[in-house]
């Protein structure tokens, strides 16, 4: 029997809980459903991240894995815009982990990339700083647009895609602790935290590609964590990292749990 890492279960549940208000904020008529073994958070947005399925079965064997992958592919084919299935590898039993690549291929899914769930218990002592940056909280439509554009540039989306997912939001100006890092008055990096089931959930961290490897991403993430903790009293945080982002978060002190496989429809 495969032991299931409780941090991996926490990471999956944080995604399911956190993505619900974010997706509904982007599209009040979004498809929000919790099915057996699958969670749907699908806005049919141009912003790819808001079109998500999450594999939620804990301890799934090979047979259950194949069933859920087939179901996920059917749901995705019925949508008008592309998205991803998020699959936390450590939720599967050992045999299902070995069977995953072949099962995904049979279901008509292709692996886009593999990231990682991460978590940290921290103390918000000194306010973070960076010698080159000034931090501002996102409170205006102009700042939300800058936040969206940084994410689009960092993840290779069209600018209109990111704006479709964020511009016009009141949630991002009020309940989410979203921060921009400014270099000589120009937004170059961004990070946000939000309260989610007794934790701080870190979302949509991005740095302009031409300003990478200067510690900007780590600095603005620390700022969002610090301000989120001050506002909520929460000192455990979770996030879902891309391969490039994981090294940034490790420098802050985040520890990785489950690999996360992002699957899209093949062809």
SS3 102: helix
pTM of the model: 0.95
Distance CA 247, CA 163 (A): 27
Distance CA 208, CA 151 (A): 8
Q: Which residues pair with 222 in a beta bridge?
A: none
Q: Which residues of the chain are under the pLDDT cut of 70?
A: 1-2
Question: Do the beta carbons of residue 8 and residue 257 sit within 8 Å?
Answer: yes
Taking only the tens place, the pLDDT of each residue in 36-78 is 999 999 999 999 999 999 999 999 999 999 999 999 999 999 9
What pLDDT, on the 0 to 100 scale, is given for residue 34?
98
Determine which helix (DSSP H) or strand (DSSP E) holds 34, and give its type and residue range: strand 31-35
> For the structural domain made of 134-234, what CATH number should be given?
3.40.630.30
Query: How far, in whole angstroms, is CA 202 from its chain's centroid?
Result: 8
In 3D, which of 28, 88, 47, 83 has the Cα closest to residue 204?
47
Annotated domain spans of the chain: 6-118+260-265, 134-234
HEC letters along 156-187: CCCHHHHHHHHCCCCHHHHCCEEEEEEECCEE
């Amino acid at each position: 029997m495969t032991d299931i890492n409780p941090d991996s279960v926490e990471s999956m549940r944080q995604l399911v809980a956190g993505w619900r208000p974010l997706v509904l904020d982007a599209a009040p008529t979004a498809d929000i459903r919790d099915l057996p073994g699958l969670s749907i958070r699908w806005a049919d947005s141009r912003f790819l991240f808001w079109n998500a399925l999450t594999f939620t079965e804990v301890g799934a064997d090979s047979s259950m894995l194949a069933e859920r992958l087939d179901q996920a592919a059917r749901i995705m084919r019925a949508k008008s815009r592309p998205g991803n299935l998020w699959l936390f590898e450590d939720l599967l039993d050992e045999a299902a982990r070995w069977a995953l690549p072949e099962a995904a291929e049979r279901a008509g899914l292709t692996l886009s990339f593999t990231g990682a769930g991460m978590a940290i218990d921290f103390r918000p002592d000194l306010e973070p700083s960076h010698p080159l940056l000034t931090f501002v909280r996102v409170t205006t439509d102009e700042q939300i647009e800058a936040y969206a554009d940084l994410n689009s540039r960092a993840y290779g989306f069209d600018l209109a895609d990111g704006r479709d997912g964020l511009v016009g939001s009141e949630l991002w100006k009020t309940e989410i602790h979203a921060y921009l890092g400014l270099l000589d008055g120009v937004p170059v990096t961004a990070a946000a935290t939000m309260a989610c089931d007794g934790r701080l959930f870190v979302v949509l961290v991005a740095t302009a590609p031409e300003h990478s490897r200067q510690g900007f991403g780590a600095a603005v993430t620390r700022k969002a964590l610090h301000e989120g903790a001050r506002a909520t009293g929460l000192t455990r945080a979770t996030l879902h990292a891309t391969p490039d982002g994981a090294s940034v978060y490790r420098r802050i002190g985040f520890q990785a749990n489950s690999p996360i496989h992002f699957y899209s429809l093949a062809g």
